[in-house]
Amino acid sequence: MTPDTSNQIWIYDTTLRDGAQREGLSLSLEDKLRIAHQLDQLGIPFIEGGWPGANPKDVQFFWKLKEQPLQQAEVVAFCSTRRPGTTAAQDSMLQAILAAGTRWVTIFGKSWDLHVTESLKASLEENLAMIGDTIEYLRSQGRRVIYDAEHWFDGYKHNPEYALQTLKSAIAAGAEWIVLCDTNGGTLPHEISQIVRDVVKAIAPEESSPSKIQNPKSKIQLGVHTHNDSDTAVANAIAAVMEGVRMVQGTMNGYGERCGNANLCSLIPNLQLKLGYSCIKDEQLKQLTQASRFISEIANLAPDEHAPFVGLSAFAHKGGIHVSAVERNPLTYEHLEPETVGNRRRIVVSDQSGLSNVLAKARSFGIDLDKQNPACRHILQRLKELENEGYQFEAAEGSFDLLMREALGQREKFFELKGFRLHCDIAPCDGESNCLPYALATIKVSVNGKDILEAAEGNGPVAALDAALRKALVNFYPIIGQFYLTDYKVRILNSNTGTSAKTRVLVESSNGHQRWTTVGVSTNILEASYQAVVEGLEYGLLLHSSAKVALANS
Amino acid sequence: MTPDTSNQIWIYDTTLRDGAQREGLSLSLEDKLRIAHQLDQLGIPFIEGGWPGANPKDVQFFWKLKEQPLQQAEVVAFCSTRRPGTTAAQDSMLQAILAAGTRWVTIFGKSWDLHVTESLKASLEENLAMIGDTIEYLRSQGRRVIYDAEHWFDGYKHNPEYALQTLKSAIAAGAEWIVLCDTNGGTLPHEISQIVRDVVKAIAPEESSPSKIQNPKSKIQLGVHTHNDSDTAVANAIAAVMEGVRMVQGTMNGYGERCGNANLCSLIPNLQLKLGYSCIKDEQLKQLTQASRFISEIANLAPDEHAPFVGLSAFAHKGGIHVSAVERNPLTYEHLEPETVGNRRRIVVSDQSGLSNVLAKARSFGIDLDKQNPACRHILQRLKELENEGYQFEAAEGSFDLLMREALGQREKFFELKGFRLHCDIAPCDGESNCLPYALATIKVSVNGKDILEAAEGNGPVAALDAALRKALVNFYPIIGQFYLTDYKVRILNSNTGTSAKTRVLVESSNGHQRWTTVGVSTNILEASYQAVVEGLEYGLLLHSSAKVALANS
ipTM score here?
Answer: 0.76
Under an 8 A CB cutoff, do B274 and A328 touch?
A: no
Q: Which of A184, A311, A488 sits opposite B334 (nearest CB)?
A: A184
Under an 8 A CB cutoff, do B313 and A418 touch?
A: no
- E-strand spans in A74-158? 74-80, 104-110, 144-150
Under an 8 A CB cutoff, do B503 and A490 touch?
A: yes
Find the helix or strand (DSSP H, E) in which B426 lies: strand B416-426
Q: Which of B114, B462, B495 sits opposite A499 (nearest CB)?
A: B462
Average pLDDT over residues A352-374: 67
Q: Which of A336, A426, A494, A497 should one mutate to test binding to chain B, selecting the residue with the greatest count of B CBs within 10 A? A: A426
**Which residues of chain B are within 8 Å of residue A524 when distances are taken between CB atoms?**
424, 426, 437, 439, 459-461
Q: What does DSSP assign to residue B14?
A: -
Average pLDDT over residues A274-299: 94
At A326, the pLDDT band (50, 70, 90 cuts) reads low
One CATH from 1.10.3720.10, 3.20.20.70, 1.20.120.1200, 3.40.50.720 for B37-299: 3.20.20.70
Q: Which of B114, B313, B426 sits opposite A527 (nearest CB)?
A: B426
pTM comes to 0.75
Length of chain B: 554
Shortest alpha-carbon distance between residue B69 and chain A (Å): 32
* Fold adopted by A315-353: H-NS DNA Binding Protein (4.10.430)
**Which residues of chain B are within 8 Å of residue A334 when distances are taken between CB atoms?**
184, 186
Helix/strand/coil percent split, chain A, to 5: 45, 20, 35
pLDDT in tens, B15-65: 999 999 888 787 878 889 989 999 999 999 999 999 997 777 788 999 999
Find the helix or strand (DSSP H, E) in which B419 lies: strand B416-426
- E-strand spans in B257-382? 316-317, 346-347
Shortest alpha-carbon distance between residue A258 and chain B (Å): 5
Kindly identify which residue of chain B lies nearest to residue A230, measuring between CA atoms.
Answer: B308
**Which residues of chain B are within 8 Å of residue A335 when distances are taken between CB atoms?**
184-187, 229-230
- E-strand spans in A327-409? 346-347
Domain ranges of chain A: 10-298, 315-353, 415-476
Query: How many other C-beta atoms can be found within 10 angstroms of the C-beta atom of residue B486?
Result: 20
Kindly identify which residue of chain A lies nearest to residue B235, measuring between CA atoms.
Answer: A232
Q: Which of B184, B496, B507 sits opposite A333 (nearest CB)?
A: B184
Shortest alpha-carbon distance between residue A520 and chain B (Å): 13
Please give the pLDDT value at position A364.
63
pLDDT in tens, B513-544: 788 889 998 888 888 998 999 999 999 999 88
Q: What is the DSSP string of A424-462?
A: EEE---SS-TT---EEEEEEEEEETTEEEEEEEEESSHH
Under an 8 A CB cutoff, do A487 and B496 touch?
A: yes
Shortest alpha-carbon distance between residue B67 and chain A (Å): 33
Under an 8 A CB cutoff, do A119 and B526 touch?
A: no
- What percentage of residues in chain B have a pLDDT greater than 70? 88
Under an 8 A CB cutoff, do B498 and A492 touch?
A: no
Shortest alpha-carbon distance between residue B103 and chain A (Å): 30
pLDDT in tens, B298-342: 786 778 989 999 998 999 887 555 666 777 778 788 999 999 999
Under an 8 A CB cutoff, do A234 and B231 touch?
A: yes
pLDDT in tens, A373-430: 888 878 877 877 787 777 877 667 788 889 888 888 888 889 998 888 888 887 765 5
Q: What does DSSP assign to residue B278?
A: B
Rounded CA separation A123/A121 (Å):
7
Sign for the CA dihedral angle at B216, B222, B227, B233 comes to negative
Q: What are phi and psi of A401, to 5 degrees?
A: -65, -45
**Which residues of chain B are within 8 Å of residue A275 when distances are taken between CB atoms?**
188
Shortest alpha-carbon distance between residue A48 and chain B (Å): 21
Which CATH number is associated with domain A10-298?
A: 3.20.20.70
Kindly identify which residue of chain B lies nearest to residue A314, measuring between CA atoms.
Answer: B258
Q: Which of A21, A23, A321 should one mutate to test binding to chain B, selecting the residue with the greatest count of B CBs within 10 A? A: A23
**Which residues of chain B are within 8 Å of residue A333 when distances are taken between CB atoms?**
184
Please give the pLDDT value at position B326.
73
Under an 8 A CB cutoff, do B458 and A488 touch?
A: no
Strand partners, A15: none
A-B CB pairs within 8 A amount to 348
One CATH from 2.40.160, 3.30.70, 1.10.8, 3.30.160 for A415-476: 3.30.160
Euclidean distance between the first and the last CA atom of chain B, given in angstroms as a whole number: 42
Burial B290-312 (b: 16+ CB within 10 A, else e): bbbbbbbbbbeeebbbbbbbbbb
Under an 8 A CB cutoff, do B188 and A238 touch?
A: yes
Helix (H, G, I), strand (E, B) or coil at B5: coil
B493, pLDDT greater than 90? no
Winning range, highest mean pLDDT, from A430-434, A529-533, B293-297 = A529-533
Under an 8 A CB cutoff, do B118 and A461 touch?
A: no
Please give the pLDDT value at position B544.
87
Under an 8 A CB cutoff, do B498 and A189 touch?
A: no
> HSE-up of A398 (CA within 13 Å, CB side)?
25
Under an 8 A CB cutoff, do B306 and A119 touch?
A: no
Among candidates A130, A94, A95, which has minimal Cα distance to A109?
A130
Winning range, highest mean pLDDT, from A100-114, A503-517, B210-224 = A100-114
Written as one letter, the residue type at B380 is L
Q: Which of B23, B238, B267 sits opposite A348 (nearest CB)?
A: B23
